[in-house]
Amino acid sequence: MENKLQKQKLARIASLLKKKYGAVEHTPEDPLEVLVGTILSQNTSDKNSEKAFLNLKKAVKNFKDLLSMPPGKIASLIKAGGLSNIKEKRIRESLEMLRRRDPSFSLSFLVQKDSEQAMKFLSSLPGVGDKTAACVLLFSFSLPVMPVDTHVFRIGKRTGVIPERASLKKAHNIFSEIIPAEYRDVLDLHVNLITHGREVCKAVNPACPKCVIRPLCDYYNKLKQDAAS
């Protein structure tokens, strides 16, 4: 019963956010680029990770060519993103594992698996957690999985879609359970949640009065109750 209510709430949130922010125009992205880009985004700001990513894009035609770089070269290119030595190690080890499986580095086999199996494979790569795996599956193959970043996590908790004390791991599991396998608007919902988190449902001083999903929000309703008591 709880999952059913969560599914209904998430569907209403998705509809309201899509009405406000619109549908997302998206061309499937190269899975290696999504994989490396998401590793670069770990523990840093969007601005810094984007700078590191662009430095790599300028250096190689294809991200599989990163393995031909001498040790330390990747770290020097991604220095702006922080933890460059650690991230170089994760990138190299992940790419090496993919090459051993298929010299062409193809990840197209993932679409032949269900989302859970695809997540399990990607999560077996060094430094690849649930968010990184979900990003690859969503942005490259349009599979119905939700990458839980800081904005999705915050809004999920405030609205009650996920429990207030849920861990990131638990949040990913819950979204996996309540997003239907046939649902094809996950990318719209993911991007719109991030936009909403940046512009309205901020970590500090959220702009609740102009929030289109406030009727569905446990956090907002509690504020109203506290103000009335």
**Catalytically annotated residues:** 131
Contacts of 105 (CB under 8 A, 6+ apart): 32, 64, 95, 98, 99
Report residue 149 as tokens: 């970043």
Cα distances (angstroms) measured from residue 25 to each of 108, 126, 165, 179, 211? 22, 31, 34, 21, 23
Is 72 exposed, middle or buried (CB count within 10 Å of its CB: 0-12, 13-18, 19+)? exposed
Do the Cβ atoms of 83 and 43 come closer than 8 Å? yes
Contacts of 97 (CB under 8 A, 6+ apart): 124, 125, 126
